[in-house]
A and B are shown apart, each in its own frame.
Chain A
């Protein structure tokens, strides 16, 4: 069981930086989720580990073995793409047995192992079918089964659920958690754009932004204390509201939302009592999750610009005096576009970022001072 160590990885394409000095240490048995928006560098990093991209700098080590210059077909990795990629000329059984046969496993043993894996992904009734005769979800199950059957020490999953519909995604996500459980000798790297997926599945979260890993930690830890505005934007879905804030000795003026006494914002009456080192008067940014805004008749007026209903939840985009806000309600509510509603902050969790966008403090005013 060897760890995977990435040292100062750099990848440039057409003078554009795709990976920017990435260093990571990934241990067997861990499920590492690369969480970031589209274009953050998740796929590039996965492809680099797989050997499908040539590095401009840095080294990849698997235990004592350096993978630089090692062809993809010699690397002990398995990969699942976000597109459902299978061999169209082979049956489901032969698709799953394919990497085993290439690895020199005998035909009978390869087929037996493939059958066992197909069983696990719930496709035993379809072993003889070709991928073209399967639904999207089934095709992705075949791809996952093929990757798992190989039993490679490094398993790369590049947004494998992104092209599935909501229901199927939920189901396959649960199945995937089961399939990956107990693989103590495997390093799983899972790319995702969905914070909920990352929170549910991963043992370690790696936040990516503009080709860099901007934060690494346990999922809950990262979610509760994102290191920067960028990180807060990545881990929050629906998007977090970031507003500028002028902090004074006894109150704070928050963009669009108005004045708040320090006590109500931070659960402390004096700046010196906020956080470990205290905060000083000046310019900051405040982060309020969409679920930390609420409808209130005494709140500030805002115009509805967009309403998205997803399942039993409603996400409403608002324009409050030229400032864009997002409100998340756990109910199906039809706010008419163009209508006016009144909102105020719930102030259960308040993130404070300094002028450089770095996290300065997290407050839970409703619980009292941290």
Chain B
């Protein structure tokens, strides 16, 4: 019975792994193919089934008449990285305040403020695009990295607040009280006690911000023209009358690489169980 259970378990893991790995494998093989290789059916083994070529990869960096995506890549890192970082810092502070202190302004309470943050993400992006466009134009920040960072902060902050409010609500208040009685002010309590114990929450919020920011195409497209280009827009621009599957596959792999790398790095912090031993 135990063996059967194990067999089923491993089979399920195998099927799921194939499901997850297959798209990457497909993109990886395609990125080393030429036009003939792509149209020649499903082939997997280089040199035996198809002749590998670096053509797709070279075109991404300006070779073989392609477009260099290094600039957009760096832009994406700057915009997504800084917007995520600022959103996490501001969002974490806001979330701690919403979780620990009672706000009253007319009929508005903590729950209403939290919902206000989340509601920013309920609206369809197109509703926000026009005000953002007009605002950035007014500020002279249209088609600039700074403008994009501002817009992305507005988009990512609700995510950070939402995730962190929920996380802080699960951190026992006695931990704050204990820190107060040990001589910490609310601010010292936040950064000396609560923040070091909120690393799993910060990672989840950070990952959400990075994923949403990194993969955004709509605002990167509508709020930029020629001076500033982010990676998703640059990848779409690779397309021409003949779809270059090899360069698209290579760019897809390059695009997803930082997030996968980051997920591997932070995964161990997530599985630690940050609050074990706080209150029992």
Contacts and interface: CB of A to CB of B under 8 A. Distances in A.
Given A50-B181, A52-B177, A99-B182, A83 B276 contact: no
Interface in A233-275: none
A73 B177 contact: no
B170 to A, nearest CB: 13
The 5 closest A-B pairs by CB, nearest first: A132-B277, A131-B277, A102-B183, A132-B276, A99-B182
Interface string A219-244: 00000000000000000000000000
Given A85-B172, A88-B197, A88-B275, A71 B180 contact: yes
B178 A89 contact: no
B275 A85 contact: no
A146 B182 contact: yes
Interface in A148-168: 150, 163
Interface of A: 50-52, 71-73, 75, 77-79, 81, 83-89, 98-99, 102-103, 130-134, 136, 139, 146, 150, 163
A84 B279 contact: yes
Given A83-B174, A87-B193, A72 B280 contact: no
A81 B280 CA distance: 10
Contact of A134 (B188, B197, B277, B278): B277
B274 interface: yes
Contacts of B182: 73, 98-99, 102, 146, 150
Interface in B183-212: 183-185, 188, 193, 196-197
Given A73-B182, A102-B182, 10 more contacts: A51-B180, A73-B183, A79-B181, A83-B172, A84-B279, A85-B175, A87-B193, A103-B183, A132-B273, A134-B277
Given A85-B172, A85-B178, A89-B197, A73 B276 contact: no
B280 A89 contact: no
B181 A83 contact: no
A85 B172 CA distance: 9
30 contacts: A50-B177, A51-B180, A52-B180, A71-B185, A73-B180, A73-B181, A73-B185, A78-B181, A79-B181, A84-B280, A85-B174, A85-B175, A85-B178, A85-B278, A86-B278, A88-B275, A88-B276, A88-B277, A88-B278, A89-B193, A89-B274, A99-B183, A102-B182, A102-B183, A102-B184, A130-B276, A132-B277, A133-B277, A139-B280, A150-B182
A85 B279 contact: yes
Interface of B: 172, 174-175, 177-185, 188, 193, 196-197, 273-280
A107 to B, nearest CB: 14
Nearest to A146: B182
Given A85-B279, A89-B196, A89-B197, A72 B274 contact: no
A78 B180 CA distance: 10
A310 to B, nearest CB: 24
Contact of B181 (A77, A87, A133, A134): A77
A72 B180 contact: yes
B276 to A, nearest CB: 3
Contacts of A150: 182
A283 B174 CA distance: 49
B185, B193, B274, B277 — most chain A CB neighbours (10 Å): B277
Contacts of B178: 79, 81, 85, 87
Contacts of A136: 280
Contacts of A131: 276-278
A132 to B, nearest CB: 3
A136 B276 CA distance: 12
A76 to B, nearest CB: 10
Contacts of A133: 277
B175, B181, B279 — most chain A CB neighbours (10 Å): B181
B177 A72 contact: yes
A146 B274 CA distance: 21
Contacts of B197: 87-89
A132 B273 CA distance: 10
Contacts of B196: 89
Contact of B274 (A86, A88, A103): A88
A84 B276 CA distance: 11
Contacts of A86: 277-278
Contacts of B277: 86, 88, 130-134, 139
A45 B172 CA distance: 21
A73 B172 CA distance: 18
A14 to B, nearest CB: 14
A79, A89, A134 — most chain B CB neighbours (10 Å): A89
Contacts of A130: 276-277
B280 to A, nearest CB: 5
Contacts of A99: 181-183
A41 to B, nearest CB: 18
Nearest to B178: A85
Contacts of B183: 73, 99, 102-103
B175, B179, B278 — most chain A CB neighbours (10 Å): B278
Contacts of A79: 178, 181
A83 B280 contact: yes
Contacts of A84: 279-280
B280 A87 contact: no
Contacts of B278: 85-88, 131
Given A83-B174, A87-B175, A73 B275 contact: no
Nearest to A142: B277
Nearest to B198: A89
B5 to A, nearest CB: 31
Nearest to A84: B280
Nearest to B177: A52
A132 B179 CA distance: 18
A81 B174 contact: yes
Contacts of A89: 193, 196-197, 274
